[in-house]
Amino acid sequence: MKTELTISTAAINEAALAKRREMGKGMGAVIYFSGVVREIEGNAPITAIDYEAHEEMARHQFALIFDAVEKSWPVESVRLVHRLGVVPVNEPSLWVEVTAPHRAEAFDACQFLIDEMKQKVPIWKKPLPA
């Protein structure tokens, strides 16, 4: 399974990422998920979320999750970008791409990946009030 992990304060350029997609001829399904900062956090209006990470541990924990994906589904590739620092409302903080032969495994793997991330990857958010 090919994997690509980016953890960076740079804005996520979804178009540029999608353009770099490489997909084997046996692959039938691609999912992209973008997690976008909402204008409300815990019932209060915000302007942005400031993301902090234990970056080295985050990379390690993502690698463990990618290993688990590879063991569970015939996924061809996973690319994941998590932005750190201040992410304004309406901009993505997370971008995930999964390519697989069939739709069901692409969906399952993508959801597993995000569920696991939300349990294990040491990234925290601080909402910046409006």
Residues that bind its own copies (CB under 8 A): 14-15, 18-19, 23, 25-40, 89-90, 92, 101, 103, 106-107, 110-111, 114
Q: Which is nearer to another protein, 19 or 101 (CB)?
A: 101
Work out the angle between the directed axes of helices 103-120 and 55-72 (0-180°, nearest 10). 150
Find which of another protein, its own copies, none residue 36 binds, CB within 5 to 8 Å per kind. its own copies
- Sequence-distant (6+) residues with CB within 8 A of 65 are 113, 116, 117, 120, 121
In angstroms, rounded to a whole number, what is the distance separating the alpha carbons of residues 21 and 102?
Answer: 17
Backbone angles phi and psi of 75, in degrees to 5: -80, 135
Is 54 within 8 Å of 122 (Cβ atoms)? yes
Please tell me the count of residues contacting another protein according to CB under 8 A: 25
| Residue 11 interacts with another protein (CB under 8 A): yes or no | no
- Show contacts with another protein in window 14-73 (CB under 8 A): 35, 51-54, 56-58, 60-61
Contacts with another protein, residue ranges (CB under 8 A)? 35, 51-54, 56-58, 60-61, 82, 93-94, 103, 114, 117-126
